[in-house]
Amino acid sequence: MNSLDKYRKEIDKIDDSIIELLEQRFNLVVEIGQYKKENNLPVFDAKRESAIKQKFTTKKYQDSLSNIYDTILKESKTIQYDKEHNN
């Protein structure tokens, strides 16, 4: 196995972990959405999103992380809105 294949295999393992963790995250998002619905809380929480983004402001790839988290947070809100209006 050459070096490129080794790197790709390592990335594949990391990608598998990311996918599994995102599944876990979105399952929790559904539960949070249900809680918010039951307690008449809004889906969007600017303070919470800001706190999440603060976690990586000092990281080497903060711009890339910010872009990725923008997508994750957008999808999280979409999941909550969909559950709110379809249940």
Domain-wise residue ranges, the chain:
3-86
Per-residue pLDDT for the chain (87 aa), expressed as one digit of tens each?
799 999 999 999 999 999 999 999 999 999 999 999 999 999 999 999 999 999 988 999 999 999 999 999 999 999 998 877 776
What pLDDT does residue 85 have?
A: 78
The CATH number, out of the four listed (1.20.59.10, 1.10.760.10, 3.60.15.10, 1.10.10.10), of the domain defined by the range 3-86: 1.20.59.10
DSSP letters, 42-87, are -S--HHHHHHHHHTTTTSTTHHHHHHHHHHHHHHHHHHHHHHHHH-
